[in-house]
Amino acid sequence: MKTAISLPDMLFHRADAFAERAGISRSELYATALEEYLARRDGDRVLARLNAVYGQVRAPGEPAMAGEVRFPSSRADLW
């Protein structure tokens, strides 16, 4: 699909130079950049939602952890 966008001159020239060095068309550069941007933003949104859900969920009767994990002080403690 064709579209028209406005870019700052410096950004346009940097992108144009990059596309030429990379041997790709300007359209391919913009499409790839937009795809990566959207994927990263969608990933951030999904991660934030997962963190919100799993950060609040505890099994029934499970005590709240104070962020502390204890390891056995000796091998005898393992048994």
Do the domain assignments include residue 49?
Answer: yes
Q: Of 16 and 63, which is predicted with more confidence?
A: 16
Q: Is residue 23 part of a domain?
A: yes
Q: Which two tokens stand for residue 37?
A: 């941007």
| Three-state secondary structure call for residue 34 | helix
Q: For residue 51, give its domain range.
A: 7-56
Amino acid (1-letter code) at residue 59: A
Domain-embedded: residue 62: no
In a domain, 65, yes or no: no
Residue 79 has pLDDT above 60, yes or no: no
C-alpha–C-alpha distance, residues 61 and 65, integer Å: 12
Among residues 34, 31, 36, 30, which one has the least CA distance to residue 14? Answer: 30
Summarize pLDDT for 3-46 with one digit per residue, the tens.
Answer: 999 999 999 999 999 999 999 999 999 999 999 998 887 777 77
Q: Is residue 24 part of a domain?
A: yes
Write down the pLDDT at residue 64: 62
- Whether residue 75 is contained in a domain is answered as no
CB 75 within 8 A of CB 69: no
Amino acid 7: pLDDT? 95
Using the predicted structure, report yes or no on whether residue 55 has a pLDDT greater than 90.
Answer: no
Please report whether residue 76 resides in a domain: no
Report the domain count for the chain.
1
Q: How confident is the model at residue 71 (pLDDT cuts 50, 70, 90)?
A: low
- Does residue 71 lie in a domain region? no
Give the burial class of 29: count Cβ atoms within 10 A of its Cβ; 0-12 exposed, 13-18 middle, 19 or more buried.
middle
